[in-house]
Amino acid sequence: MGELTPGDQAQRAVLIEAFAAGPMQGNGAAVVELSQAARSEWMQALAGSLQQSETAFLWRNSDGQWCLRWFTPTCEVPLCGHATLASTLALQRWGLMKPGQELVLASRSGGLRVCVDPSTAGAASLTLPSEPLVAEPCPSYLAAILNAEAQGYWTSTLGYRVVLIGEDQSLETLAGVSERLQGPDRQGLVVMQALPADRPQRLLGQPCDYKLRFFAPGLGIDEDPVTGSAHALVAPWWAQQLGKTTLHGWQPSRRSGGMRCEVLQGLQVQLSGTGHVLWEGQIEAGAPGHDPGGWDVCRVSAA
């Protein structure tokens, strides 16, 4: 480890595998604690070095409220579920949040309510905004990529596209999807499927209701292992189809995982899951600088 030069600052950091059933599973997110709003260029460069699906940055504003931003290796994103879960568990690990305590983290997507589960170690919940799905004709090229005809195709203001395939198709064996996506589908394509009753997948002691995979090469993520924002987007649709408000979604990626989804009023979805710490230490990557306008991108009001 090199010595810090004048003006450098070491940033506390932890990598948490979120929405994971156990170690070496789920979706890794680095969480970095800042003393103040940092320059976007510095955060983006660090996220590129850490090479996680998302790196989350936390700091307190002048009112004492925690602020949160997320960066993939190539760009900033407006919403990220797994890195929000990881941030919640990081705050608890650092003694900045108590089990059972509820906080509102300010973000570009508004205030996000989070809570550490007081009864289950390494578990937390977060509430994300959802968006209506708008049905559209499915692009013809997708059938060849998915080896199946789509049973439905939707767009959303979140920027994600959603496609439904039949239960007789193999979601798990899909390969080479990202490199063949075209146009807006590259910004985030959710491929989802009902979970057949004769092949149950259990999560948190309950059978799962649906499964999905998520591809976003346009965001610098060929495939995201477990995607909270994607589950928050599609959970209301599954709730309507299945006639229930609480569901369990599974993501059969190479690093599989899942979450409990409770559909709330006002297009809100509470996601619950567990996380596991992979490493903890400090980042010595030069002075992050201060962005006096960095707070302007966030909204303080609770969603």
The predicted model scores a pTM of 0.92
Assess whether pLDDT exceeds 80 at residue 300.
no
Q: Which residue has the higher pLDDT, 52 or 286?
A: 52
Q: Which residue in this structure is represented by tokens 């006639």?
A: 243
Q: Which residue range(s) make up the domain with 241?
A: 134-261
- 302 in any annotated domain: no
The pLDDT of residue 35 is 94
- What's the one-letter identity of residue 192? M
Do 17 and 40 share a domain, yes or no?
Answer: yes
- 303 in any annotated domain: no
Residue of 17, 54, 76, 131 marked catalytic: 54
Q: Taking all residues of the chain, what is their mean pLDDT, rounded to a whole number?
A: 92
- What's the one-letter identity of residue 265? Q
Cα dihedral: 279, 205, 191, 47 (round 10): -10
Do 146 and 244 share a domain, yes or no?
Answer: yes
Do 208 and 293 share a domain, yes or no?
Answer: no
Do 83 and 173 share a domain, yes or no?
Answer: no
- What's the one-letter identity of residue 291? D
Total number of domains in the chain: 2
The pLDDT of residue 245 is 97
The pLDDT of residue 285 is 86
Percentage of residues in the chain having pLDDT higher than 70: 93
Q: Which of 1-10, 87-96, 126-135 has the lowest mean pLDDT?
A: 1-10
Token pair in block for residue 287 = 């002075």
Assess whether pLDDT exceeds 70 at residue 146.
yes
- 3 in any annotated domain: no
Do 141 and 116 share a domain, yes or no?
Answer: no
Q: Please give the Cα distance from 32 to 15 (Å, whole number).
A: 9
- 271 in any annotated domain: no
Assess whether pLDDT exceeds 90 at residue 127.
yes
Do 16 and 117 share a domain, yes or no?
Answer: yes
The pLDDT of residue 289 is 87
Task: Identify whether 262 is a catalytic site residue.
Answer: no
- pLDDT tens digits, residue range 149-198? 999 999 999 999 999 999 989 999 999 999 999 999 999 999 999 987 77
Do 210 and 168 share a domain, yes or no?
Answer: yes
Under the banding of pLDDT at 50, 70 and 90, the label for residue 10 is confident
Token pair in block for residue 133 = 């799905």
- 1 in any annotated domain: no
- pLDDT tens digits, residue range 191-205? 999 987 776 799 888
> Do residues 269 and 126 touch, judged by C-beta distance below 8 A?
no
Assess whether pLDDT exceeds 50 at residue 6.
no
Contacts of 63 (CB under 8 A, 6+ apart): 300
Q: Which residue has the higher pLDDT, 281 or 22?
A: 281
Instruction: Determine the average pLDDT of the residues in 31-51.
Output: 96
Assess whether pLDDT exceeds 70 at residue 297.
no
Do 176 and 199 share a domain, yes or no?
Answer: yes
- Tell me, what CATH number does 62's domain have? 3.10.310.10
Residue 152: helix, strand or coil by DSSP? strand
Percentage of residues in the chain having pLDDT higher than 90: 83
